[in-house]
Amino acid sequence: MSQSTTAQIIRETLAAELRRDPRLFLMGEDIGAYGGSFGVTRGLLAEFGDQRIRNTPISESGFVGTAIGAAVAGMRPVVEIMFMDFITQAVDQLVNMAAKLHYVYGLNCPLVIRTAMGAGRSYGATHSQCLERLYFGVPGIKIVAPASGADFAALLQGAIADPNPVLFLEHKLLYPLRWEMPETPPEPVAPGSARIARAGTDVTIIGWSWMAFEAERAGASLADKEVEAEVIDLRSLAPLDMATLLASAGKTRRVLIVEEGPRTGGVAAEIAAQIAEQLPDGLDFPVQRLAMPDCPVPSARTMEAALMPNAATIAAAALDLATRV
């Protein structure tokens, strides 16, 4: 076993895939000699050269469109969008082109979009957003959001192997975290499966990305209060692993969904609706949600921390739900 940061795990996985498949190449702003804003691609240019590690202009619509064309032509592009906030610049390319190619023309579009998401670094309103809700529910786009070192490797391999578009979401706060990793890389995991991060019987806590990480910490603290929380790391937002979610909800009969983005109209709301529809008499109380308020992410560190769900606020909300009578 060896320790690696999340950023190193992503880099090593990309390098292994580049060595394995000559059709694979990377595109993005400053991903070459600079190594990307978070250092994820550092060193790859020296090994693979500028034909496979391609710096792009500041034009997300332009280079995502280029990648879509390359994917349709038989290449395997992996695009880095520096901050998820800027994925808005590529909405038309992704929603009206990449997502439709399979359905309308019978074409595959093996495209991976990697992007850094989330708050916690005081980057302000336009560099801290969780915008997965914009693409969640768009037919033809898969979305994965790992929360552990092994899953960053396994899900990235699975995303690259997928024949159609996958958004691969990387939370900024996860990049420096260290994980024990086996010498042999984990097997690929395709989009569509959740992970039971902690088994329990009293309350189900569902999260993804950084919120799944914080939910695990909350689950550990609840055990000290003799509350056994079942923590589910969603891993895949599209498609959802509703079988795992429904099995847990039916067992604990109390469900809390944690989302970093604004409360209204988010992924948590859709999951809550599906659980309510499919388990109409299976819960003791309505599904609860914990999320940021409906406002932009503040720049001030103290304000940002006050609004962002964390292990303590998750534990408090789960404890309240688990002990209701």
- Could you give the residue numbers annotated as active site? 60, 127
Distance CA 280, CA 9 (A): 42
Q: Where are the alpha helices (DSSP H) in the chain?
A: 6-20, 44-48, 60-72, 91-93, 101-105, 149-161, 210-223, 242-252, 267-278, 301-307, 311-322
Please check whether residue 210 is in contact with residue 260, taking contact to mean a CB–CB distance below 8 angstroms: yes
Preceding omega of 110 cis (within 30 degrees of 0) = no
Please check whether residue 42 is in contact with residue 50, taking contact to mean a CB–CB distance below 8 angstroms: no
Pairing status of strand 112-117 against strand 76-81: parallel
SS (H, E, C) 228-247: CEEEEECCEEECCCHHHHHH
Tokens of 269: 């709301």
DSSP label at residue 40: T
Amino acid sitting at position 35 = G
Distance CA 229, CA 249 (A): 11
Please check whether residue 190 is in contact with residue 161, taking contact to mean a CB–CB distance below 8 angstroms: yes
Neighbouring C-beta atoms of residue 68, cutoff 10 Å: 21
Distance CA 272, CA 98 (A): 28
